[in-house]
Structure 1
């Protein structure tokens, strides 16, 4: 374990466990550092993160005992005022550190109610919240029996993965067997606690949204709503989102009542969550609750659309304080991710220099990068564009135009996927 940083005074530090890729998470680290001094636990020496840090500790963040020991050591010499993470794989460890140091946190039970999708389904069902039909299965034969009982089509997914990895729509028995294999295998690259087996769930018809919120002492405070675009059927890759400051769902009584009840049901204390919801004919139904800020730059879209700083909200929640939810911007902002037409090796990505409403365009794959589409790989993105428009329809049209201006030069990849 390596340690670097000057001792802090009574102001203390926020402990951030893990950071993530620069393209996805730098804006959050910048916002957190502008709110409170940040101490980073990281698996390797920081690079681009350094200007935002008060100090850092190099520790294997995947080793829970090592992280707990490092946190105790840090707290023994520097006031640690809060702890947070926006990495899906580290939120349980983060909750344990908060408990260990007596700091505000989601609570281990609360965060397990997010991380463990089977546990979440059971808790929400017990609370009387409308849920899709579901079953936990350990074999393809059990998956077939569950699908017959629930009714086709069904969604088959791992218990503890994120980013729609291993999530497959199955329309008949043959597809269920293959979907179970995909979900089961995907689970085995994740946390040991959630490896093997799959959830089989009723497919919910309707558009999907996500809500990023802060939770302070169990009280749920929504920040912004994102409308999701899903592609690469029968998989559930998230290829785009848009956030509108004036989205009526931000204040919809039925939706907010359900979200508050759901967070009470899982026992979530302090922190931020990203909840995915299907808008069905029978009303809003939760797909899953994630104990972190959203990925895919959704919090950045929310910040650009509303002016609410998601990193500041996350820090204040970790400190046990209610964030400020006052809008200072009022617009619609959207993102579109570029996917290759086939498994490939990237030669180059050319981005548009200008387009109507263009706020940002970024290459996400360097030359030589292998991109594999589901089920051989996931999140195979070569670029993104972010635009703004007066309303969702205009924003979508501008996204179409800007995305069409991105050029991918690639070489088809026919090498089998490594075992």
Structure 2
């Protein structure tokens, strides 16, 4: 995860001294740490025991994580040590997508019609009641893993199987079953924000590009500091109300929404910063430091959210055209005139990349570009992505690609 996370750890460490809980001894993280504890971070009892031992020997001011699988344990540590935090109930209301739907629907906030299915036939019955097309998804995964569109009963059965199987690679508490939801049409956006003593503080808004129908793989994002939606009163009203409903007092959230004909509708609320390097795009576009913001919120402080930069920044991920074993990847060099801020290879030679449903987030590279306008940024992203070269061998006997 170094390529995806080092920028956050570096900025967090510049804000406050850090002590890492990690299943392996620190490696690339070492320059940013005061110390580290080796522990199975998915074992809540072990994490709590080590957290209490650390707090008995040195002052602990806050606890944070930007990993989807760890946000619940992070909330338990905050509660056990009396630190500022999202509360366990608040973070569970983010982590469990079925619970999120129930709470927001009961509060009268715009939501798709939905239901819960324990097996494939129940998923078909729900889909027929809601009306095709429907989206079928696991309730405790992120990054659109296991999410599929179904246009008819056979596809609903297949989509349930995909979601159910995907759920079993995540936390045990969310194993099995699937949500069946009305398909929402319209562009998709995300908002990263801080919540401090119940106040919802927007950081940056991104517009998302998805693909690989009938799946929802995230291909890219664009952050525009001048996007009018960032200050849109209807959008902010819905976001503030939703965070009050789920009971989040302190934390960082990444909320995904669809812009439908009936207005913004929340797809999900994640109790962490956005993935896919969206916070890095936000920093490059606005100057707002996401790693520092996470630390500030963990210390119950309101982060600095005034923009010091004003440019459009986007990312485009490179995917293979089919399942393959990678031989080599080449990316263009940074080029200020072409607007290429950064480009990186994400895989080593020999890596197998499988497209949904055989695999997810199977990226070989990314390019990050800037422009004076959203149109210019999109053009530069397209040109930079076209300059990426990947050589590989097709995989045979696979279920995807």
TM-score class, shorter = over 0.9
Q: Deviations over 1:301-345 (max 9, x none)?
A: 000000000111110000001111111000000000000001000
Which residue of the partner structure matches residue 299 of structure 2? Answer: 319
Which residue of the partner structure matches residue 7 of structure 2? Answer: 27
Q: Deviations over 1:128-174 (max 9, x none)?
A: 10100000000111001100111110000001000000000111111
Which residue of the partner structure matches residue 108 of structure 2? Answer: 128
Which residue of the partner structure matches residue 333 of structure 2? Answer: 353
Question: Match for 1:411 among 372, 393, 396?
Answer: 393
Secondary structure class of the residue paired with 1:268: coil
Query: Within 1, Cα distance between the matches of 2:318 and 2:51?
Result: 39
Question: Match for 2:19 among 22, 39, 57?
Answer: 39
Which residue of the partner structure matches residue 262 of structure 1? Answer: 242
5 Å matches for 1:296-307? 296-307=276-287
Question: Match for 2:317 among 334, 337, 341?
Answer: 337
Q: Deviations over 1:374-414 (max 9, x none)?
A: 00000000000000001111111110000000000000011
Query: Within 2, Cα distance between the matches of 1:188 and 1:323?
Result: 36
Give the TM-score normalised by structure 2. Answer: 0.98
Which residue of the partner structure matches residue 59 of structure 1? Answer: 39
Question: Match for 1:112 among 92, 98, 101?
Answer: 92
Give the TM-score normalised by structure 1. Answer: 0.94
Query: Within 2, Cα distance between the matches of 1:133 and 1:65?
Result: 37
Query: Within 1, Cα distance between the matches of 2:371 and 2:398?
Result: 42
Query: Within 1, Cα distance between the matches of 2:200 and 2:59?
Result: 28
Q: Quote the offset at 1:354 in angstroms.
A: 4.8
Question: Match for 1:394 among 376, 382, 401?
Answer: 376
C-alpha contact 2:334 2:343 (8 A) present in aligned 1: no
Query: Within 2, Cα distance between the matches of 1:121 and 1:129?
Result: 10
Instruction: Specify whether residues 71 and 100 from structure 1 end up closer, same or farther in structure 2 by C-alpha distance, changes over 3 A only.
Output: same
Which residue of the partner structure matches residue 223 of structure 2? Answer: 243
Question: Match for 1:362 among 335, 344, 369?
Answer: 344
Which residue of the partner structure matches residue 232 of structure 1? Answer: 212
Q: Deviations over 1:212-237 (max 9, x none)?
A: 00000111000000000001111000
C-alpha contact 2:292 2:303 (8 A) present in aligned 1: yes
- Deviating beyond 2 angstroms after TM superposition, the runs of 4 or more aligned structure 1 residues are none
Query: Within 2, Cα distance between the matches of 1:191 and 1:385?
Result: 32
Which residue of the partner structure matches residue 9 of structure 1? Answer: none
Structure 2 stretches lacking a partner, 5+ long: none
Question: Match for 1:371 among 344, 350, 353?
Answer: 353
Q: Deviations over 1:19-68 (max 9, x none)?
A: xx000000000010000001100000111100000111011101110000
Which residue of the partner structure matches residue 52 of structure 2? Answer: 72
Which residue of the partner structure matches residue 14 of structure 1? Answer: none
Q: Quote the offset at 1:415 in angstroms.
A: 4.5
Q: CA RMSD in A?
A: 0.8
Secondary structure class of the residue paired with 1:84: coil
Which residue of the partner structure matches residue 6 of structure 1? Answer: none
Work out the number of aligned pairs and report it.
Answer: 397
Query: Within 2, Cα distance between the matches of 1:78 and 1:155?
Result: 48
1:280 aligns with 2:267: no
Q: Quote the offset at 1:89 in angstroms.
A: 0.3
Query: Within 1, Cα distance between the matches of 2:370 and 2:190?
Result: 19
1:155 aligns with 2:145: no
1:184 aligns with 2:176: no
Question: Match for 2:366 among 384, 402, 407?
Answer: 384
Query: Within 2, Cα distance between the matches of 1:391 and 1:366?
Result: 34
Structure 1 stretches lacking a partner, 5+ long: 1-20
Question: Match for 2:272 among 262, 281, 292?
Answer: 292
Query: Within 1, Cα distance between the matches of 2:308 and 2:27?
Result: 32
Query: Within 1, Cα distance between the matches of 2:333 and 2:186?
Result: 36
Secondary structure class of the residue paired with 1:241: strand
Secondary structure class of the residue paired with 1:80: coil
